[in-house]
Amino acid sequence: MGVSAEMYQHSLDFLFGRLNYERMGSTKYSTKDFKLGRMQALLEALGNPQSSVPTIHIAGTKGKGSTSVMIAEMLSAAGYRTGLFTSPHITQYEERILIDGKQIAPQQLVDQVSVLSQAVDQMQIDFGVGDMIPTFFELTTALAWMHFKQNEVDYAVMEVGLGGRLDSTNICEPLATVITNISYDHTALLGNTIEQITREKAGIIKAGIPVLSGVTQPEAIAVLEEVCEEKQAPLYLLNRDFFIEPVSGVGKETVLTDTGHSTEEIPQQKIRVTTPWSVVDEMPVNLLGAHQATNAGVAVALLDYLCHIGTSIEPERMREGMAGLKWPARIEVVQKNPTVIIDTAHNGASINALIKTLKECFQQQRRLLIFAATREKDVSEMLRTLLPCFDTVILTQYRSNPRRIPVDELIEIAQAIQQESGCAAEIISAASPADAWLRAKENSTSETLICVTGSFFIAAEMRELLLGATDETLITESC
């Protein structure tokens, strides 16, 4: 007998009814609000489920989600029952908690939330109604640990939500940690320099536990080396201890229409990863962009480390996992004629990676941008990079989160940039994602490239709008 819709909604209401920093501007909280003691108390009330789950812990400014799913897919393809915890979700809450690519089921969610609520009630008795009451993200992290323990996963791949040092995922005992890269984001909380941000990310490093990292800035590397030396944690760095190179002679894959005629060519990446332990060759990278090749190289190096310490993983199984990988809203092609791309880029580094990928992978001459953004982000930096690359820019606002920047503010920022730079892109205002899509259709042809970006929230709302409204013209996997 399935779970009732009422019970399911009650469980979601319990979770979303808690303090949720994903819906708050960073000016309304600080690192003092993140208390690992609160998370530790919650997990102890639940019997410390995290202690019985072998874990890979992953932090970084960008790429940590993609790297996490790559590691999980390769482990699953190798025959290991693998849990994956990521955030935020794109369409529905259950996307955050997967086992071998399958979301936590509604009945499992309801059952686990019932246990969680009892633990929260006990914490309220023990500590009162003050700042020891768990937040939305803390409850979600605990829910993931409970689900993974109950289903006896062989590995849990845990993506940090924010920073690392004070993140609720940091109550774990990992086999290895990964720090993908460092760039400027969440500076109000993590610091205004690369060194400060790196130190927050490096907070996931544990005594004696190996660290694999794609960090390349000298100042960030210096911090990692310092922390790893202090913790006596072996450090394996990209371009020093492991290396990534494209496989020569990689061609292009032709994308076909229903009638069999090619519409465009998209480069298909393959890489060779050389680690201290072996060489893994001919590794496919399904996600678009050179930055995803780097993420893949870090993921492969991590898998090769697991092989080094005794985990049985055949390279062919790793390739199978990578070849079958799908990851929504990461330079994802969701429609053809015109080509529509949705991406979650929301800081300067990820916007630069997006622009580079669009130039390398897509040939359309006319380009249209749909953009919305979140407060506390460096929107001027993002738009300064984006505006010269598009003929038409539609500025809008998402509906699902109060952290959105109103359209009028985006228009002012864009116009100021145009006055400074002389950029001639046409600027259009749209009150909602649905309105933005209508304006995009009015201003495009079958040869236009339409790109949606600026925030997880606009990516989620546009993806839901397009996939729900025009299924017959959409594809559901990345090219």
Q: List, in sequence order, every residue forming a beta bridge with 341; answer none if it has no partner.
A: 333, 451
Residue ranges and CATH numbers for the domains of the chain are 5-323 (3.40.1190.10), 332-473 (3.90.190.20)
Non-local CB neighbours of 4 within 8 Å, separated by 6+ positions: none
424 Rama class: left (phi>0) / alpha (psi -120 to 50) / beta: alpha
Q: What is the DSSP letter of 273?
A: E
pLDDT of residue 347: 85
Place of tokens 């040869």: 447
H or E element at residue 441: helix 433-442
| Cα–Cα distance measured from residue 469 to residue 477, given in angstroms and rounded to the nearest whole number | 17
367-371 and 392-395 as β-strands: parallel, antiparallel, unpaired? parallel
pLDDT given for residue 46 in this prediction: 95
- Give me the pLDDT at residue 24, please: 47
CA–CA dist 389, 400 (Å, integer): 28
Its pTM stands at 0.83
DSSP 8-state class, residue 134: P
Question: What is the mean pLDDT of each successive set of 10 residues along the chain, which is 479 residues long?
Answer: 84 83 45 71 94 95 91 97 93 93 95 95 79 88 97 97 84 94 65 84 94 94 96 97 82 40 58 97 90 94 96 95 88 90 88 90 92 89 94 92 89 94 93 95 94 92 77 32
Pairing of strands 279-285, 269-274: antiparallel
Residue 241, Cβ density class (10 Å: 0-12 exposed, 13-18 middle, ≥19 buried): middle
Q: Are 190 and 220 in contact (CB under 8 A)?
A: no
Q: How many CA atoms lie within 13 A of 19 on its CB side?
A: 13
